[in-house]
Chains A and B, each alone.
Chain A
Amino acid sequence: MTIRFDKLGVVIAAIVSYAAFAAPFATFRANRIVPGEARSILDALPAAAGPLLLAIVVGAALIALLKTPLILRLAASVVALAALALLIGVSGSFLTPEGNTFARISPASGFWLLIFAFTLLLADVLTRLNLSPWARVGVLVVAAAAIGLLLVSGSWNSLSILKEYANRADSFWAEGSKHVTLALGSLAAAVISGLPLGILCHRVEKLRAGVLNVLNIIQTIPSIALFGLLIAPLGWVATHVPGAAALGIRGIGTAPAFVALFLYSLLPVVANTVVGLAGVPRAANDAARGMGMTDRQRLFGVEFPLAFPVILTGIRIVLVQNIGLATIAALIGGGGFGVFVFQGVGQTAMDLVLLGAVPTVAMAFAAAIILDAVIEMTSTRRREAQPA
């Protein structure tokens, strides 16, 4: 019998062997800003737990390395990820000296690499399983519930990032809701104005090139520069338009951040609307007119539903982009998770940076999965209907 290797498995096994044996699993710091000391898996965990974790990750890596049934690979990745998630919490309490509230334990590069390797394995298995859109959302919900459970159970409370959270729980949720409001609000504004603009560009050919070029140029302006450019006009509006200031419109703060995100969102929405409408089969449009639909009935009854998956792709781009970009709003006092990132950078407190970055990444990731599923659901019917 010949032993056959899985291509991705080779990469995963290589990462795991480096991460488990050569890289630090956790970092111990006497307080939140001093440099840390690295701890390996065996040093970071109680007597029995260390070898157990090593056995699990090595076993899972072997399963990944060889050509094995999908279901076994799925089990291996889930078990390894669960063990890592649980034991990093154990390591937190184990390494924290009794009664010491200044010491900080944080996951180190080895831990993150192991998470990365087994997430890679999990993602590969899920792709190969060819899950339906609903099932993918289901997996996301289960994963979110598991993480939520770990957070609520307190098993991670001794980790540094949660200590940072405990110190600013109130502002965490306030900034979080600001972040979401900024990202979703600017998206909503972009959709409300971008869709009609896209339809107009589709119908009026003369407008199309001009509008798309302008939006393209806006897209290339760096965000900081765009904020700068917005300070003057918004400041002018605040002082000269009655009631504007009362609405919170100012040269700095939430208003320019909102406007900037909105402007960045316009191009994907408008461009995808134009592309989607242009892709509606000629015959369908022709039939719609031939059956006696008015222009409006044709737009809402035929063109729009057929262009919808493409438009939705534009909205997906915008949503993921906005969740990430909203971090920058903190630079001009616009709030959001970026507040923690920039405070953390200022104080060289890595944990605080993570407190802002991790939820941002998680939200963007979840948004991408959900919208991909929705796009697939709306487009399956149509996919094969296109003439070859």
Chain B
Amino acid sequence: MIEIEGITKRYDATTVVDDVSMLIEPRTIAVIVGTSGSGKTTLLRMINRLVEPTSGVIRLDGADNRSLPGYQLRRSIGYAIQGHGLFPHRTVAQNIGTVPVLLGWEAARIKRRVDELMTLYQLDPQAFGPRYPHELSGGQQQRVGVARALAAEPNVLLMDEPFGALDPIIRNKAQEDLLAIQKRFGTTIILVTHDMEEAVHMGDKIAVMDAGKLVQYAKPAEILAKPASAFVETLVGASEKPFRLLSLGRVRDAVETGAAEGEAIPDDASQRDALAELLWSGRPALPVKGADGRPLGRVTVDGLVKRAARPA
């Protein structure tokens, strides 16, 4: 659990982060969104004390984050830096192994962990391990940056726009991988992004920042349905809202009784994908099948459109 209480950061006269309080439940993902310069990175860096707050307290699992020396605190928190920040003079494998080396793991264990992470991020350890960062594409560098943050299996992970440079396909894959890792290890993640789609998809909760202030901190559905201000409304994109809302729900929650023609859609697909399929194929209904292939019923255009409407 991460408790942020009344955190303020001032540089001279300008207040960059203004009295922010939020609570991040253990084993959940909190996504921070906001315009450029709204203080997202600064807030993130106060958690691992790369930036010391002007006032306020941050507690990790109940303990003030100032109770350890900064460098020890940072070894226990994964950090994927905005714009990757790889060490240009170290190979990809050495970069990923940075924190395990600092923690004094033995060489064999480090190698195993590095290979495992590289394979996870589709970088062949043989081919990419000995390369230097400048020999990688921007997207590959970013994946190495994320792998480096994960290396020591931290309980808390801070990620600053980690998937910005990835193409949609690899980004999707990286997001799913991160969700899987988060489920498996119960990691608590704070993720900064500019991509509303990513925020809705990944976040258990979304924090919206504007000019250093936290303007809304709530579940994605609530942010979409009841934006706290005009600013939040613009940020989440008024015209995209119905689709974003649909993308939160699974097909299994929209199943109606009855049958329909054609190829069945799996029940764990998003409702948004189901609606897209319906509109594209010009049919009024699609059959739904369970994970075992059993037919469960159908989804209809009418049913989905009702769900996309603003909740009462």
Q: Pick the contact of A305: B79, B89, B98 (CB < 8 A).
A: B89
A291→B99 contact, CB < 8 A: yes
> CB-CB < 8 A to B102: which residues of A?
291-293, 297
Q: Is B59 interfacial (CB-CB < 8 Å)? A: no
Closest to A383 in B: B134
Q: Is B74 interfacial (CB-CB < 8 Å)? A: yes
> CB-CB < 8 A to B86: which residues of A?
284, 287
Task: Please encode chain A, from 290 to 316, with 1 for each CB lying within 8 Å of some chain B CB and 0 for all others.
Answer: 111110010000100110000000000
Q: Is B75 interfacial (CB-CB < 8 Å)? A: yes
> CB-CB < 8 A to B133: which residues of A?
385
Q: What separation, in Å, do the CA atoms of A289 and B148 have in the docked complex? A: 14
B71→A284 contact, CB < 8 A: no
A287→B85 contact, CB < 8 A: yes
Closest to A285 in B: B85
Interface residues of B in 73-94 (CB under 8 A from A): 73-76, 79, 81, 83-89
Interface residues of A in 261-299 (CB under 8 A from B): 281, 283-284, 286-294, 297
> CB-CB < 8 A to B74: which residues of A?
289-292
A289→B50 contact, CB < 8 A: yes
Nearest CB of chain A from residue B123's CB, rounded to whole Å? 18
A385→B85 contact, CB < 8 A: no
Q: Decide yes or no: A385 and B134 within 8 Å by CB, A292-B72, A292-B75, A292-B99 being known contacts.
A: yes
Closest to A386 in B: B88
Q: Is A67 interfacial (CB-CB < 8 Å)? A: no
B132→A283 contact, CB < 8 A: no
Q: Is B188 interfacial (CB-CB < 8 Å)? A: no
> CB-CB < 8 A to B98: which residues of A?
291
Q: Pick the contact of A281: B50, B88, B132 (CB < 8 A).
A: B88
Q: What separation, in Å, do the CA atoms of A284 and B95 have in the docked complex? A: 11
Q: What separation, in Å, do the CA atoms of A380 and B93 have in the docked complex? A: 19
Q: Pick the contact of A283: B73, B85, B134 (CB < 8 A).
A: B85
> CB-CB < 8 A to B132: which residues of A?
381, 385
B148→A284 contact, CB < 8 A: no
> CB-CB < 8 A to B79: which residues of A?
290-291
A284→B50 contact, CB < 8 A: no
Q: Is A384 interfacial (CB-CB < 8 Å)? A: yes
Nearest CB of chain A from residue B219's CB, rounded to whole Å? 30
Q: Is B28 interfacial (CB-CB < 8 Å)? A: no
> CB-CB < 8 A to B75: which residues of A?
291-292
> CB-CB < 8 A to A7: which residues of B?
none
Interface residues of A in 129-174 (CB under 8 A from B): none
Interface residues of A in 158-210 (CB under 8 A from B): none
Q: How many B residues touch A, CB cutoff 8 Å? A: 24
Q: Is B187 interfacial (CB-CB < 8 Å)? A: no
Q: What separation, in Å, do the CA atoms of A227 and B171 have in the docked complex? A: 68
Q: What separation, in Å, do the CA atoms of A305 and B132 have in the docked complex? A: 14
Nearest CB of chain A from residue B58's CB, rounded to whole Å? 16
Q: How many A residues touch B, CB cutoff 8 Å? A: 21
B50→A286 contact, CB < 8 A: yes
Q: Is B48 interfacial (CB-CB < 8 Å)? A: yes
Closest to A305 in B: B89
> CB-CB < 8 A to A284: which residues of B?
85-88
Q: Decide yes or no: A283 and B89 within 8 Å by CB, A291-B102, A292-B71 being known contacts.
A: no
Closest to A281 in B: B88
Q: What separation, in Å, do the CA atoms of A288 and B83 have in the docked complex? A: 14
> CB-CB < 8 A to A305: which residues of B?
89
Interface residues of B in 6-62 (CB under 8 A from A): 48, 50
> CB-CB < 8 A to A290: which residues of B?
48, 50, 74, 79, 81, 85
Q: What separation, in Å, do the CA atoms of A294 and B72 have in the docked complex? A: 9
A286→B85 contact, CB < 8 A: yes
Q: What separation, in Å, do the CA atoms of A257 and B132 have in the docked complex? A: 45
> CB-CB < 8 A to A283: which residues of B?
81, 83-85
Q: What separation, in Å, do the CA atoms of A304 and B76 have in the docked complex? A: 25
Closest to B151 in A: A291
Interface residues of B in 122-148 (CB under 8 A from A): 132-134, 148
Nearest CB of chain B from residue A86's CB, rounded to whole Å? 47
> CB-CB < 8 A to A306: which residues of B?
88-89
Nearest CB of chain B from residue A337's CB, rounded to whole Å? 39
Q: What separation, in Å, do the CA atoms of A23 and B91 have in the docked complex? A: 58
Q: What separation, in Å, do the CA atoms of A290 and B87 have in the docked complex? A: 12
Q: What separation, in Å, do the CA atoms of A294 and B87 have in the docked complex? A: 16
Q: What separation, in Å, do the CA atoms of A293 and B74 have in the docked complex? A: 8
Closest to B72 in A: A292
Q: What separation, in Å, do the CA atoms of A306 and B86 have in the docked complex? A: 13
Q: What separation, in Å, do the CA atoms of A283 and B160 have in the docked complex? A: 13
Nearest CB of chain A from residue B136's CB, rounded to whole Å? 11
Nearest CB of chain B from residue A53's CB, rounded to whole Å? 52
Q: Decide yes or no: A381 and B89 within 8 Å by CB, A290-B74, A292-B74 being known contacts.
A: yes
Q: What separation, in Å, do the CA atoms of A287 and B146 have in the docked complex? A: 12
B88→A385 contact, CB < 8 A: yes
> CB-CB < 8 A to A291: which residues of B?
74-75, 79, 98-99, 102, 148
Q: List 26 A-B contacts (CB under 8 A).
A: A283-B81, A283-B83, A283-B84, A284-B85, A286-B81, A287-B81, A287-B86, A289-B50, A289-B71, A289-B74, A290-B50, A291-B74, A291-B79, A291-B98, A291-B99, A292-B71, A292-B72, A292-B75, A297-B102, A302-B87, A306-B89, A381-B88, A382-B89, A385-B88, A385-B132, A386-B88
Known: A291-B79, A386-B88. 20 other contacts (CB 8 A): A283-B81, A284-B88, A286-B50, A286-B81, A287-B81, A290-B50, A290-B74, A290-B79, A290-B81, A291-B99, A292-B71, A292-B74, A292-B102, A293-B71, A306-B88, A381-B89, A382-B89, A384-B134, A385-B88, A385-B132
Closest 7 CB pairs of A and B: A385-B88, A292-B75, A287-B85, A292-B74, A283-B85, A385-B134, A290-B79
